[in-house]
Amino acid sequence: MRVRFAPSPTGYLHIGGLRTALYNYLLAKRHGGVFVLRVEDTDQTRFVADAEQDILDSLSWAGLSFEEGPGVGGAFGPYRQSERSARYKEVAEELVRLGKAYFAFDSSEEIEAMKGRHTTAENPTPRYDFNTRLEMVNSLTLSEADVKARLDRGDEFVVRLLVEPGQVVSFQDAVRGNVSFDSQAVDDQVLVKSDGLPTYHLANIVDDHDMQITHVIRGEEWLSSTPKHILLYNALGWSAPQMAHLPLILSPTGGKLSKRNAEKQGIPVSVQQYIQHGYEPGALLNFLALLGWNPGNDQEIMDLEEMASVFSLDRVGQAGVQFDLQKLSWFNEQYLRAKNTKDIAESVLPLVKDRFGDYSLGHVEGAVKLMIERMTFEKDILDAPYLFEAPTAYDEKSVQKRWKTDSSDLLTAFSSEFESLSSWDAASIEGCLKAKVERDALGLGSIMFPVRLSLTGEPSGPDLFGMMELLGKNEVLARMQKAANELR
């Protein structure tokens, strides 16, 4: 089994593209096959210089490694279509020779004019097809000599697929079953553009054939051009690979997850944006895998290996799926909590230093341990500034509501109690505090709240005693005293 992910470097890798790559990867791993990356850069007008690098970087971040492709090589290279022009030309010529394709010399104005002539309410988008090709300037309407003369003269031309009406083109799709089209509805697709480069359709089938791709897994937007591909395979006497068209990822409101549409709803579209937001690659992959596929049981948290061990195309859904950012967040939380706190600390250390100054890895790890249950992203550690610096203000509402007349005195009293503590750890602090509460017959809340507020400035937060241990005795006493004075 050989599969490929064939992105076009016309922009940064899209989240939907990553899912397509993932499904290809999973299928290959599941069957011990080969995963190929092929860059489909046949459109010079839409070429984006750093897009290929972005695709490479994004796949690498996600951990989707390929056995063959640009940079790593392979027996079927080159893997950039711009470097395979000669082969497409050869195949195009072969198709013309076989009478399956023809030269066309029409200018875009002439094509527009033809479309204008045929446009009606019932036929808003006329095609260049069996119905109209005989009114056009092509090797079907021109004499052989004329065609040769134009070619020799260097006139611009395109090569078009000759689609005969009256045939039914059908194929088995691995996720949709039998799909069939009437060839009448297929136009004489351009195979070679006037710049000499192939269109997607030609390059795609040539490469899939030459690279011995066995399974084509791509988005549903390709479903309606598949008959063209089947016709091409047939014309060349090649057998078509197994097709599998994935349901599209839709926006939460149902429409297409276009860049504009998505951004309006706060959904990142490029993988690069997910990286910047701090998503865990495993979480994103896990989420994406389940967007259109399921393992057939209730398991949701699965790493790449686990998914690869059970992946199959027949468990891929057929209906479009809506993107749910909240569920992605949940996945990210799950993955974050499964991570080693030291690793997280190491990764956020620069952020902490940048924001709060020079803290030790140990201190940051302690902060992470306190905060992990309430973080969605690693960077959320910054939402607890009080683990690094004294609060500069106290939450007004809480002060008004819960800061009692004796709170300051209590703070002072407990301060001196803590002062005498010989070992400063969460358990000792807790024991000390609770002992005094009992001795003085106080309510636990009457002291817990003032302490928390003095330490964090906020009415809620992570475990109080753990936090006190992390901050250290001096810092805790200083903050308590400060609040006692300021809020008196």
Partner RNA sequence: GCCGCGUUCGUCUAGGGGUCUAGGACGCUGCCCUUUCACGGCGGUAACACGGGUUCAAAUCCCGUACGCGGUACCA
Per CB under 7 A, does 111 bind RNA?
yes
Query: Among 63, 165, 317, 362, which residue sits at the site for RNA (rule: CB under 7 A)?
Result: 317
- Smallest gap from Cβ 99 to RNA, in A, equals 21
Residue with tokens 């394709």: 101
- Smallest gap from Cβ 28 to RNA, in A, equals 20
Site for RNA in 151-180 (CB under 7 A): 156, 158, 176-177, 179-180
Contact 321/292 with Cβ under 8 angstroms?
Answer: yes
List beta partners, residue 216. Answer: 243
Binding mask 198-237 for RNA (x = CB under 7 A): -xx-------------------xxxxxx------------
Contact 283/334 with Cβ under 8 angstroms?
Answer: yes
Cα separation of 196 and 213, whole Å? 25
Q: Which residue lies nearer to RNA by CB, 139 or 360?
A: 139
List beta partners, residue 246. Answer: 219
DSSP assignments along 290-337, one per residue:
TSSB--SSS-----HHHHHHH--GGGB--S-EE--HHHHHHHHHHHHH
Site for RNA in 36-95 (CB under 7 A): 40, 42-43, 45-46
- Smallest gap from Cβ 358 to RNA, in A, equals 27
Query: Among 314, 354, 358, 396, which residue sits at the site for RNA (rule: CB under 7 A)?
Result: 314
Contact 27/313 with Cβ under 8 angstroms?
Answer: yes
Per CB under 7 A, does 263 bind RNA?
no
SS3 content of the chain, % helix, strand, coil (to 5): 50, 10, 35
Spell out the residues 6+ positions from residue 437 whose beta carbon is closer than 8 angstroms to its own.
443, 444, 447
| Binding-residue total with RNA (CB under 7 A) | 86
Q: Which residue lies nearer to RNA by CB, 199 or 407?
A: 199
Cα separation of 30 and 24, whole Å? 10
Q: Which residue lies nearer to RNA by CB, 98 or 185?
A: 185
Per CB under 7 A, does 465 bind RNA?
yes
Q: Which of 259, 339, 342, 473 is catalytic?
A: 259
Question: Among 89-97, 119-127, 236-244, 412-420, which window interacts with RNA (CB under 7 A)?
Answer: 119-127
Residue with tokens 């000792």: 428
Site for RNA in 362-381 (CB under 7 A): 373-374
Q: What is the torsional sign of CA 278, 282, 283, 288? A: positive
The two most distant CA atoms of the chain are separated, in Å, by: 112
Q: Which residue lies nearer to RNA by CB, 199 or 270?
A: 199
Q: Which residue lies nearer to RNA by CB, 290 or 364?
A: 290
Per CB under 7 A, does 298 bind RNA?
yes
Q: What is the dihedral of CA 209, 213, 215, 220, to 10 degrees?
A: -60
Q: Which residue lies nearer to RNA by CB, 32 or 443?
A: 443
- Smallest gap from Cβ 288 to RNA, in A, equals 10
Site for RNA in 234-253 (CB under 7 A): 247-248, 250, 252
256: annotated active-site residue: no
Per CB under 7 A, does 150 bind RNA?
no
Active site (catalytic) residues:
259
